[in-house]
A and B are shown apart, each in its own frame.
Chain A
Amino acid sequence: DTGVSQDPRHKITKRGQNVTFRCDPISEHNRLYWYRQTLGQGPEFLTYFQNEAQLEKSRLLSDRFSAERPKGSFSTLEIQRTEQGDSAMYLCASSSRVLAGPKETQYFGPGTRLLVL
């Protein structure tokens, strides 16, 4: 169990550029979540995958955001035409199908910190 990993850890980009983040969940975890954390705030739910299916998207996820999990393993989060308001920490979490329901524990990655200039 190597934990949830995210790449890159930091990203600086100019407004209007596209960025893509990757999340590798714990092996065999079928549930994957993305959250966004802005300065001084707690994480906010963005989207949820069960295997390769994206089953829930927050209203925070505008049409500039797209997330995929093509083979039910790693996931990518892409932001098109970045804006300064997109600057935040993007966190990924995964959990096991075995402990679904209230006993489910989400394991978080270290996050990708995005700065849009």
Chain B
Amino acid sequence: AQSVTQLGSHVSVSEGALVLLRCNYSSSVPPYLFWYVQYPNQGLQLLLKYTTGATLVKGINGFEAEFKKSETSFHLTKPSAHMSDAAEYFCAVSFMNTGFQKLVFGTGTRLLVSP
């Protein structure tokens, strides 16, 4: 069965510092991987996704993630944190089940950015 593990329920960084949010997955088939962001009182917004092809995926707001099959990882990074990046981030894996996209989410990582 597909599953996702996000290490660290909270990550704190200073403004301008590197952001690294960790995600490891388990999948019996080639995975499709996603990162979503959730701001307070809002729904989830897609940051980026990996399906096939290039393993380094660039997303919105300067985020990127690299699919590493050997490490079963899909960590999210951003070179320089901004105050507006403070939010909850969810990694998800999907597999095609009877023709639709079933997303399995991790437990989330709350990113705190200090001035």
> Are A43 and B103 touching (Cβ within 8 A)?
yes
> Are B96 and A102 touching (Cβ within 8 A)?
yes
Partner among A40, A100, A103, A106 whose Cβ is within 8 Å of the Cβ of B103: A106
A91 at the interface (CB under 8 A from B): yes
In A75-117, the 8 Å CB interface with B consists of 91, 93, 95, 100-111
**CB of B53 to closest CB in A, whole Å:** 11
Closest to B52 in A: A102
| Set of chain A residues within 8 Å of B105, measured between Cβ atoms | 42-44
| Set of chain B residues within 8 Å of A67, measured between Cβ atoms | none
A65 at the interface (CB under 8 A from B): no
B26 at the interface (CB under 8 A from A): no
**CB of B66 to closest CB in A, whole Å:** 18
> Are B43 and A45 touching (Cβ within 8 A)?
no
> Are A102 and B9 touching (Cβ within 8 A)?
no
Given A102-B32, A108-B44, A110-B42, A48 and B102 touching (CB < 8 A)?
Answer: yes
Complex formed: what's the CA distance from A48 to B43 in Å? Answer: 18
| Set of chain B residues within 8 Å of A48, measured between Cβ atoms | 100, 102
B107 at the interface (CB under 8 A from A): yes
| Set of chain B residues within 8 Å of A110, measured between Cβ atoms | 41-43
Please list the residues of chain A having a beta carbon within 8 angstroms of any beta carbon in chain B.
4, 9, 31, 33, 35, 40-45, 48, 50, 55-56, 91, 93, 95, 100-111
Beyond the given pairs A106-B103, A110-B42, 5 more chain A to chain B contacts, judged by CB atoms under 8 angstroms and listed by A's residue number, are A43-B90, A102-B32, A102-B51, A102-B94, A108-B44
